[in-house]
Amino acid sequence: MDLSSLQKMCDPLLPGLLGIQLIEVGPEKVVATMTVRPDLCTGGGILHGGAYMAFADTLGALGTVINLPKGKRTSTTDSSTKFIAGAKVGTTVTGESLALHRGRSTMVWQTTIRNAEGRLCAVVSQTQIVLDT
């Protein structure tokens, strides 16, 4: 799938509600941005941890999707998040997901999320299982 097709697939789903905009999609790397809106924040105007996690999960899942053989689908089996810094409301975060392992039965992705100043905000590692459709 190309970037435009993946964006169209995401738009009516949670990634669309989050406002995720795909920038680059390839078999080894997925890059996207997300605007930090007030409805995605904690009371202090900082991006909510769950929003970071959903953003990263989306990128790792999309990376897996473009690597899937015909007749296969995927689901996240586990995810680990390390929060490092915050992203303020009204700014944009950038996520970059890199393939650590692309196997026949699982794929592992690590996503770094940076704030508008380029400061590392979160690191998320996830495993995606490859399933029959």
pLDDT tens per residue across span 8-29:
999 999 999 999 999 999 999 9
- pLDDT 10s digits, 37-72: 999 999 899 999 999 999 999 999 999 999 999 999
CB-CB contact of 74 with 130 (8 Å): yes
**Can you name the residues that pair with 33 across neighbouring β-strands?**
21, 94
Which amino acid, residue 9? M
Name the one residue in this structure whose structure tokens are 């015909």.
Answer: 70
Cα dihedral 6→53→33→65 (10° resolution)? -20
Cα angle 61-67-72, degrees, rounded to a multiple of 5: 80
